[in-house]
Amino acid sequence: MALNKKQQKQIEAAKNKITRLRELLSAAKKQPDDPQEIPRLEKQIAELNAEIEKIRNE
Determine the residue type at 50. A
Tell whether the model's pLDDT for residue 1 goes beyond 80: no
Tell whether the model's pLDDT for residue 50 goes beyond 90: yes
pLDDT at 37: 95
Q: At what angle are helices 5-30 and 37-56 packed, to 10 degrees?
A: 160
Q: Give the tens place of pLDDT for each residue, 16-49.
A: 999 999 999 999 999 988 889 999 999 999 999 9
Q: Can you spell out the DSSP letters for 19-38? A: HHHHHHHHHHHHS-S-TTHH
